[in-house]
Amino acid sequence: MGLAIGKTIVAAVLISFVSWLSGKKIGLAGFLTALPLTTLLALAFSHMEWGDSKQSVEYAKSVFVAIPVSLLFFIPFLMANKLNLNFWTCYSSGIALLGVGYFIHTYLSKFI
């Protein structure tokens, strides 16, 4: 139980800090958000919890495939000005594209 609470606190502090920073220094916040901070934390937390190196390696491979696929989320934001899209349209469209990305990820993961 203590491990779950500790993981939650670390993740919450990290997300809250980057969110706060986005109002002060957009470039730095974007850079920190783009870093695989979540992956670093999740891999370490997972390995600490399960202690299975093989499972951790498979998890890392899945993340490796997912990273480029997850960029589908940003496509509506890149086209926002050209298509006159507001934030919530971009956001919801990006989430829909992530749904498509999940199936791409599932397919590609069979080959790693």
Which pLDDT band, with edges at 50, 70 and 90, does 3 fall under?
A: confident
**pLDDT tens column, 24-76:** 999 998 888 887 778 888 899 899 989 999 999 999 999 999 999 999 999 99
At 74, list the tokens.
């940003």
Outline where the chain has alpha helix (H). Answer: 2-21, 26-34, 37-50, 53-70, 75-78, 80-83, 87-109
Q: Reply yes or no on whether the pLDDT at 100 is more than 90.
A: yes
In the chain, domain spans? 53-112
DSSP state, 22?
Answer: T
